[in-house]
Amino acid sequence: MRQFGLAALLSQQGPRMATARTSYGDNEHSILYAETSGCCPLCSKSILFRKPGSSRLNKGYEVAHIYPLNPTPSQVTALIGRAAPQDINALENVIALCPSCHTKYDKDFRLDEMDKLRKIKDGFLAEARANATVSDYTIQEEVYAILDRITSLNNTELDIPPPSFDATTVDKKLSTGMSPLQRHEIKNQAITFYVRIRDQIRMLEQSDQVAVRLLQSQINTYYLAMQRQNPGNKDAVFNFVAQWISARTGRPLLAAKVLTSFFVQNCEVFDVGP
């Protein structure tokens, strides 16, 4: 009798040779641990532990393959239509999980859980690329005065209603590719701080107009670099631009987000779509 379906295909192919698990070195473990910030990405438990009476920290995580290393027959069925990574053992396909979550992931494998881990890992990879890019892009010293002005605003100044401001450009630029919560935050910051930052920039232009234009160009350039690394993800682009400004100036991230919101409205950052 002729067999049909997946079982027949597997039987015709014969037993599949198992792929060997890579032994990751100290450098790879440092990367995998660092990208999780020390917590299991699924349950948020610490992935380091200290034995009673010991001052030494021990590794409390396991290296889990996102796309299964050696799929079981049921996993093969579930993975139909999903291409395996070119290198199944590459760091891009593994993530640090606590032993409990790793066991559960392998034992109760589900596509939605794999997609969740894939999204988490892609976020880690995007952040690593952005961090590696920070040192390649300088920023004008004039930005210090702007950020210091933002952080020095007192309660009385912040309680004063901002001048009338048309947020139409912000709405158009953020109409697609951004979460509603992030869009709301940027719009509120633009409305509250736009005129104040604009006035500060005009003061700086009086002493060095070219420097301010260079600052605008630098922010646009870094935005384009982040857009290339994170196409279609304006949430990530906005936050990476703000993190870059904060990292390069040593000023609070919140102030950097306020300034980035200004440039969303005022410059070519987040080009207006159709």
With 90 as the cut, is the pLDDT of residue 266 above it? no
Per the structure, how many domains does the chain have? 2
127 with 9, same domain: the answer is: yes
Query: What pLDDT, on a 0 to 100 scale, did the predictor assign at position 183?
Result: 86
Neighbours of 274 (CB within 10 A): 5
Q: Angle CA(37)–CA(39)–CA(44) in degrees, nearest 5?
A: 135
For residues 9 and 121, membership in a common domain is answered with yes
Residues 208 and 243 in one domain: yes
Q: What is the mean predicted confidence (pLDDT) over 59-82? A: 91
Tell me: pLDDT of 49 over 70. Answer: yes
> What does the block give as tokens for 155?
């309660």
Q: Supply the pTM of this predicted model.
A: 0.71
Distance CA 190, CA 2 (A): 69
Over range 194-203, report the average pLDDT. 85
Q: Please check whether residues 202 and 179 belong to one and the same domain.
A: yes
Q: Is pLDDT at 1 greater than 70 in this prediction? A: no
Q: Is the pLDDT of residue 9 over 70?
A: no
Nearest to 105 by CA among 120, 91, 127: 120
Over residues 22-26, the mean pLDDT reads: 90
Average pLDDT over residues 111-134: 93
Residue 74 inside a domain? The answer is yes
pLDDT for the residue 12:
40
Instruction: Say if residue 73 is in the same domain as residue 162.
Output: no
Lowest model confidence (mean pLDDT) among 34-38, 106-110, 126-130, 137-141: 137-141
E-strand stretches of the chain: 48-50, 57-59, 62-65, 94-97
**61 lies in a domain?**
yes
Q: What is the dihedral of CA 189, 191, 193, 199, to 10 degrees?
A: 150
Whether residues 199 and 171 fall in one domain: yes
pLDDT at residue 11 greater than cutoff 50 = no
Q: Residue 104 pLDDT > 90, yes or no? A: yes
Q: Which residue range is the domain that position 83 belongs to?
A: 5-13+24-134
For the chain, what's the residue count? 274
pLDDT of residue 166: 65
